Amino acid sequence: MNSLKVQNGEVFDRNEIEFLNRSDFQDSVLNLLSNKYRMIGLFPIDKKYPNKIVSILSDSVSSSLYIIGCEFPVNKLEFESFANQFPQTNYFECELAENFGYKPVNHPWLRPVRKQNIILGNQPYQFFNIDGDEVHEVAVGPIHAGVIEPGHFRFQCHGELAYHLEINLGYQHRGVEALMLNASPNQRIILSESIAGDTVAGHTYAHCSTVESLTNTQVNLRAQVIRTIAEELERIAMHVSGLGGIANDIGFALPASAYGRLRTLVINSLALLCGSRFGRGLFVYGGVRFDFNDENLEQIKNNLEIVKKDISVINDFLFSSTGALIRFENTGVVSKDFAEKIGLVGTAARSSGIELDTRIHFPYGAYRYFPVSPITLSTGDVFARARLRALEVDESLRFIFDQLENLPEGKIASDVNELKINSGVISVVEGWRGEIVHSAFTDDEGKIIQYKIKDPSFNNWYGLSLALRKTAISDFPLCNKSFDLSYAGHDL
Amino acid sequence: MIDAIKLRILQRDSVIQDVSGASLPKLFRGLPVLEDKPCLDDCRKCAEVCPTGAIKLDPLEIDLGLCLFCPLCEEVCPEKIIHYTNNINLAVDKKEKLIITKETKSIAPEKASEKIRKYFGRSLKLRQISAGGCNGCELELNALSNVNFDMGRFGIEFVASPRHADGIVITGPITKNIANAVQICYDAVPNPKIIILFGACAISGGIFKDSEETNRKFLEQNKIDLFIPGSPPHPLTLINGLLDWLDKKG
């Protein structure tokens, strides 16, 4: 095989990547995709040379990442689209086309990812629509009814049923990846905290890992444990908040308000540790900035004891309500087959029966020594996506209590060296939504020349579209909340 | 039914009664204060580490519109001059008031005009616009409606339609892609109307101030009524700011 095999967070020499010609590249990528590998990246490793791209594929069975390079003739940035056979690559190809002018030939649905008024094919993009008697179109957004991020949704409906939902994003595009290249180290950390403000620990963890790998910095176990505790606190907070949102969307006020109260306890616990309710300021290169002390340790434990006790009562109340279950079950179903084809990740994938959890399949940090248990449900409906989050909260609480009882001794931050020259690294982290991928490449002066971010939402927005097929349009808010995706993380 | 009552009992009374005197975690970073002692000769450490360039030297000043309330400046200052307090009263009505000097002990908004207080003093409905916000500010604004903060008890609420609103709350640096929608939404709000900027990104662009993907013309063309600094600001910062501004603390 002509690919470079690396592990999660393993530094490699950029020269180790073999840049194949187009037909060998196509064959190698197709070969790996046929073996059920998932695409997690498709981009040039140096923006100055957009004709040299890499495709990164992930194999969760062997916990390995495969990098396949390709050098295109400068005036012919064309390749045969993989998306007809493997729909999971569709959006990566759109992104490559949008950012660097590539033409994926025979692409089934070439559409803009973040930019407005961009022409990708031969003519300006038109929304997909269906024709027929009594068919109607519903347009929603970019500004939505609630306090929520912007996005445009187009429903093609017949009566109450939605037959097609097209999601058009990009309103949150702030240029994070471009800013990363010229930012100072302090700015880079703040930028990663702002990729998705609900996934501060997840994205900052991934970013710090890339830099620590590129600088060959060892992070002490105590710092690693504190990082994972922050990540799990974030998971609990957002899962609890999501469950509250789901209860709210079916008009079930009591559990909605009860989940809201518990979320406050969890994020205030993060503030006890680091001063910010979202974990901002906690991560530094080489470790963490804040440590537990007897006082905040006790307070955090007390908070979490209340959460542990109360959440089981609230979960029982919500999930034993017939009225709630009628709304949840068989609503917005994504089958395992579809989920695999479109490459779902994270909670959405696990709710559809796919065993995929970066903490287990590509273990990093403290998860290498203190594993979490895999949780998978099979029905792929709103019920599964809600129930899975309730179960993950229990597991995260178990994990945190275990760690708080046995905090390892040691320093919380190590010194950081210079960035290695001509190197690359791919760092994968399981944020609360799912797989976060950060890839970084340096030049011969040790300057970062490419920084690529993939939020789990990048994969999963297509899942929401599919879930709406033949679903009542009135169930859209419920389906949307059950996926709970990030606009900012997608738009960057 | 019994289960519902049990659950209601578990909820207890969770609301924060005293919004101006609420206690916050020790490490929480609110209003920074500058000790009145001289900086070391040629020391520029705080200004150099600041990720948004919020700190000016000679004399030392912090611009809260740019400040992300990260711990960096406090951490590097060899003389311990910069110190974050727990004070969450950060809202102001004029941009100049966001500049913190060694004399600043607290900041507060001027009372709103009598007309505004008459119109909005008893009921204020706001339309939030996320204009490139990362969802951090949005989460804190959502938290204002939960049982702990319960902003509704003061007659202040978020509404779905700009037609029902008395003003807008902007989060995020205003990206090029959302700029037009922000204008349309603002135009749809009936007069008189107010504009509140929530968070460093909205006030100054924050960490995205040098991004080529933003378009902040809207802010130059309109008068801003209230600035809420933070990244993201604490929910109580907005509540206290609005109550002070509308003179509802009595």
At A214-259, the pLDDT tens digits run 999 999 999 999 999 999 999 999 999 999 999 999 999 999 999 9
pLDDT value of residue B21 = 87
User: Does the distance separating the beta carbons of B139 and A198 come in below 8 Å?
Assistant: yes
Helices (H), A35-103: 90-100
Within an 8 Å CB–CB cutoff, is residue B231 touching chain A?
yes
Residue B13 has pLDDT above 90, yes or no: no
- Token reading at B156: 């202040």
The owner of tokens 């900086």 is: B39
How many Cβ atoms are within 10 Å of B123's Cβ, its own excluded?
Answer: 11
- From the CA atom positions of chain A, what is the Rg in Å? 22
- Token reading at A235: 């998971």
pLDDT value of residue A1 = 60
Instruction: Give chain A's residues under pLDDT 50.
Output: none
At B72-102, the pLDDT tens digits run 999 999 999 999 999 999 999 999 999 999 9
- Residue spans of the domains in chain A: they are 4-105, 176-491
Q: A–B: how many Cβ contacts below 8 A? A: 179
Cis peptide before B25 (omega within 30 of 0): no
- From the candidate CATH numbers 3.90.550.10, 3.30.460.80, 3.20.20.70, 2.40.10.120, the one assigned to the domain spanning A4-105: 3.30.460.80
pLDDT value of residue B66 = 95
pLDDT value of residue A47 = 85
CA distance B93 to A270: 31
User: Does the distance separating the beta carbons of B147 and A147 come in below 8 Å?
Assistant: no
User: Does the distance separating the beta carbons of B130 and A150 come in below 8 Å?
Assistant: yes
Comparing alpha-carbon positions, the chain A residue that sits nearest to B8 is A254
At B205-222, the pLDDT tens digits run 999 999 999 999 999 999
**End-to-end Cα spacing for chain B:** 41
pLDDT value of residue A122 = 75
Element (H, E) at A138: strand A135-140
ipTM: 0.94
User: Does the distance separating the beta carbons of B214 and A174 come in below 8 Å?
Assistant: yes
DSSP A341-397: HHT--HHHHHHTT----HHHHS--GGGGTSPPPP---SS-SHHHHHHHHHHHHHHHH
CA distance B55 to B48: 9
Q: Which of B158, B208, B214 sits opposite A147 (nearest CB)?
A: B158
CA distance A391 to A239: 10
Q: Which residues contact A348 (CB under 8 A, 6 or more apart)?
A: A334, A339, A385, A434, A460, A463, A483
Give me the domains of chain B, ranges plus CATH numbers: 114-245 (3.40.50.12280)
Closest CA to A359 of A324, A326, A325, A399: A399
At B120-131, the pLDDT tens digits run 999 999 999 999
- SS3 (DSSP) at A279: coil
CA distance A27 to A20: 10
pLDDT value of residue A338 = 95
Within an 8 Å CB–CB cutoff, is residue B64 touching chain A?
no
At A281-325, the pLDDT tens digits run 999 999 999 999 999 999 999 999 999 999 999 999 999 999 999
On average, the pLDDT of chain B sits at: 93
User: Does the distance separating the beta carbons of A261 and B148 come in below 8 Å?
Assistant: yes
- From the candidate CATH numbers 3.40.50.2000, 3.50.50.60, 1.10.645.10, 3.40.50.261, the one assigned to the domain spanning A176-491: 1.10.645.10
Element (H, E) at A308: helix A294-319
pLDDT bin (cut points 50, 70, 90) of residue B183 is: very high
Burial of B5 per CB tally in 10 Å (0-12, 13-18, 19+): exposed
* CATH topology match: A4-105 vs A176-491: no
- Cross-sheet strand order for the sheet of A423-430: A12-13, A423-430, A435-442, A448-454
Burial of B181 per CB tally in 10 Å (0-12, 13-18, 19+): middle
